[in-house]
Amino acid sequence: MITSMTGYGRGEASEEGITVGVEIRSVNSRFLEVSARLPRSLSLRENEIKEIVRKRISRAKLNLLVTINRDTNGSIPVSVNPSAARAYSRLLRDLRKAAGLKEPIKIQHLLQFSDIFEPVGPAATDEREWRITQSALHRALDELHAMRTNEGRELERDFRARVALLDERIVRIESISHEQVPQERTRLRERIRQLLEGSPVDEGRLEMELALMADRIDVTEECVRFRSHTKFFLEALASPEPAGRKLNFLVQEMNREANTIGSKSNATEIAHCVVGVKEELERIREQLQNIE
């Protein structure tokens, strides 16, 4: 089953006063790109978070946001770092003196330096917080996967309908081609006899030229290859593995066969069918840009 690259997922997990929320937005991309916005306490876990995502998703551009809320029962989980506060105060006094300023140093000046505060309690990489984050992340990925799978299911139905239409047109092209070859042979034979007007005709040479002509306008091989590509296309749709790149390649090959058919045949009806085939292939190609 194919999977879309666009989707949204949100997960939340709580334990002992800590609530972690994870949001993931996914859009099209040629490769896997993960951009994570994390709270400071999880900054050292960024690579681990991205590795969890890589195990679930192979291709897309993802924006991931993690938020943490802590129930502190009215207390503030930070304290003042006295040595840092004194150091910044001295630095500001030196700056004021060097710049010749008379403005007194105020508390808001010191608040510009985050180092004067430090967390109280467990370290920033607390295992409990990380465990809750992983749980929320997996829930967000599950929701994202469900949305991407549902959209992929809709796209698969559309692809199968379009491939069925392509096969019908290729069958029609092949049928017209089979009728065209003997008609062209008869027409050319008669034309040559009119041009020669009673002169002797080398039947062997004529038959050879007619056979070459028939081979040049016969599109049976191209039709057979086209149907082979549509067969592999449908098989790839049913594959459990990500198939976006393979499907794109098969559409390119189908388009190549359609171009060859159009260039080999001079029948107007075949030309119209080829135009219809290429239009459907373009619609499929556009939709495939959204497949993982």
Q: What is the pLDDT along the chain (292 residues), one digit of tens a residue?
A: 788 999 999 999 998 788 999 999 999 998 899 999 999 888 889 999 999 999 999 899 999 999 998 876 655 667 788 888 888 888 888 888 888 887 888 888 888 887 787 766 555 447 888 999 999 999 999 999 999 999 999 999 999 999 999 999 999 998 888 777 666 666 666 666 665 566 665 566 656 655 555 556 678 888 999 999 999 999 999 888 888 899 999 999 999 999 998 888 777 888 899 999 999 999 999 999 888 8
Delimit the domains of the chain by residue range.
Answer: 7-74+120-149, 78-119, 153-288
Tracing tokens 């129930």 back to the chain, one arrives at 71
The Cα–Cα gap between 238 and 202 comes to: 56
284: which residues sit within 8 A by CB, 6+ positions away?
159, 162, 163, 251
Tracing tokens 């999977």 back to the chain, one arrives at 3
Given the candidates 3.30.230, 3.30.519, 2.120.10, 3.40.50, the CATH classification of the domain at 7-74+120-149 is: 3.30.230
